[in-house]
Amino acid sequence: MKTKNSCVLKKALINLLSFSSLTILCTLFFTAFFPVSQADAFQAELKPASIRQGDAFLLRVTGLNRSIEPSAMLNKKPLRFSSCGEGCFVAIGAVDLNARAGVYRIPLKIGQHKSILRLRVLKGRFETIHLTLPEEKVSPVPEDIDRIKREAGLLTSIWEIDSERLMEGGFVFPLENPLSTPFGTKRIINKETVSIHRGLDIKGKEGEDIHASNRGRVVLTEELFFGGNTLILDHGHGIFTVYMHLSGFNVGLGDLVSKNDVIGFVGSSGRSSGPHLHFGVKVTGMNINPVSITRLRL
């Protein structure tokens, strides 16, 4: 009886070992030929997850086991990712000043993994001001119209530049002075002409140093009809900063500048009523609130 029980026990043990060996072999086989997705353990975060019309936001993806670059879309436009460390990617996105308030879906894909992020856009809080200006400051004479059109075409061609990332770290204000006219302000000029301020006016003294908001390449140093002496920096991935009404430039076309380098000087050139800096930011062709991009922690 004892011998019979021993035989049964031995047979069961052999079967168990055979099953375990088969399981191990199958596991090794499927691991070798069907590896676990590198995206299984990732984390994706929108910062901030709630913004206002005309604001920028950050999409950060971390926890990737290897360098699988994510892809994401907002309003059918791709977001441009760049590395932010091992297994980390970051993209700057934005919504237009005229975007409707509501919740926007951002499809995110990493390898074979797909998910949906949700960005809440709140209605902006924009001021309305009334201005009285000389008519020549408001309505260009016919001979200026062609110039304005040429300059608009030049600027459009600049916004279409698609370069690699040049920016390093977060964006800073080019002047540490009080603001005079906020982004999005509706200006009613001479009781009839309506103009939306698509940048930020910063107070300044004639000749005061203007600093680069981030590392970038100079893609424009020209005197424009509206902006006067205008300088534009390309920071890569469709992000540009714009500096208008300068009294002079301290850099040249094509120069690569570092954050906080002196690039020009405060003035009142172009359509301006006094010395100040008009500071603008473009993200994938959209005018966005410069304050919002300086709050992003890149």
56 and 31 in a single domain? The answer is: no
Question: For 181-202, what is each residue's pLDDT tens digit?
Answer: 999 999 898 888 788 999 999 9
Q: Which domain holds residue 79?
A: 43-122
Q: How many separate domains does the chain show?
A: 3
Domain with residue 223: its CATH number is 2.70.70.10
Which of the two residues, 222 and 39, has the higher pLDDT score?
Answer: 222
d(CA 287, CA 27): 53
Q: What is the pLDDT of residue 46?
A: 97
Do residues 48 and 142 share a domain?
Answer: no
Task: Assess whether 118 and 230 both reside in one domain.
Answer: no
Sign of the alpha-carbon torsion through 139, 140, 145, 147 = negative
Counting residues of the chain whose pLDDT is more than 90, the rounded percentage is 72
Give me the pLDDT at residue 197, please. Answer: 93
pLDDT exceeding 70 applies to what percent of the chain? 85
Q: Is 184 left (phi over 0), alpha (psi -120 to 50) or beta?
A: left
Considering only residues 225 and 4, tell me which one the structure prediction assigns the higher pLDDT. 225
Q: What is the pLDDT of residues 101-122, one digit of tens each?
A: 999 999 999 988 999 999 999 9
Average pLDDT over residues 63-88: 89
Enter the tokens of residue 107: 């499809």
| 35 half-sphere exposure, CB direction, 13 A CA radius | 7
Residue 23 has pLDDT above 80, yes or no: no
Strand order in the sheet with 128-131: 128-131, 186-189, 193-196
Does some domain include residue 270? yes
Alpha carbon of 43 to those of 46, 89, 110: distances in Å? 10, 11, 11
Determine the pLDDT at residue 40.
55
Tokens of 183: 């982004």
- Cα gap 217→225, rounded to integer Å: 23
Both tokens of residue 56? 């920028």
Domain of residue 106, CATH code: 2.60.40.1930
pTM attached to this predicted model = 0.84
Determine, yes or no, domain membership for 131. no
Calpha distance 53→49 (Å, rounded): 13
- Indicate if 203 and 76 belong to the same structural domain: no
Q: Which of 10-19, 72-81, 84-93, 199-208 has the lowest mean pLDDT?
A: 10-19
CB 168, CB 215: distance < 8 Å: yes
Kindly give, in sequence order, each residue whose CB lies less than 8 Å from that of residue 198, ignoring residues fewer than 6 positions away. Answer: 97, 183, 184, 280, 287
- 12 and 110 share a domain? no
pLDDT in tens, 4-14: 444 444 454 34
111-160 tens-digit pLDDT: 889 999 999 999 999 999 888 877 767 778 888 999 999 999 999 999 99
Query: Is residue 156 packed enough to be buried (19+ CB in 10 Å), middle (13-18) or exposed (0-12)?
Result: exposed
